[in-house]
Amino acid sequence: MESRELNILGVIYIVKEVDTVNKANPRRGEINYLTNEIRIDKNMPKSLKEQVLMHEILHAVFDLLGLDELAEDEEKVQSIATALHHVFST
C-alpha cells in the first residue's frame, strides 16, 4: 500500500492507495475526517486517481472551512473537482 502525507489548510492527511476503498460501499475514493485519512483505489489510471484525489481534497477543504453543506454535496464537489483537475492537467 502506497501512502503519503498531504497538508490541507494546515491539517495533515494521510493519502493511501489501496486495493479496496470501502468493502461495504464500493467507491473510487473516500475521506475519513476523524482519522485524517484519504483512501484512493490504486487500480485506476493515473488521471482518474488525480481527479478522485482532487474530489477528496475538496471535501477536506470545505469541511475545514466549516462549509458542511457544500462538503456533503457530492454533485457540487465532483463538478468543482472535475473543473480543477482539467485546469491543472492542461
Return per-residue pLDDT of the chain as tens, 90 residues: 678 999 999 999 999 999 989 888 889 999 999 999 999 999 999 999 999 999 999 999 999 999 999 999 999 999 999 999 999 887
Determine the pLDDT at residue 25: 84
Determine the pLDDT at residue 3: 86
Q: Do 2 and 17 touch, CB atoms closer than 8 A?
A: yes
Supply the pTM of this predicted model: 0.91
Long-range Cβ pairs for the range 9-16 (8 Å, 24+) = 9/60, 9/61, 9/64, 9/65, 11/36, 11/60, 11/64, 12/36, 13/37, 13/38, 13/60, 14/38, 15/40, 15/53, 16/40
- Burial zone of 81 (CB within 10 Å; 0-12 exposed, 13-18 middle, 19+ buried): buried
Query: The C-alpha cell of 69 is what?
Result: 453543506
Determine the pLDDT at residue 68: 93
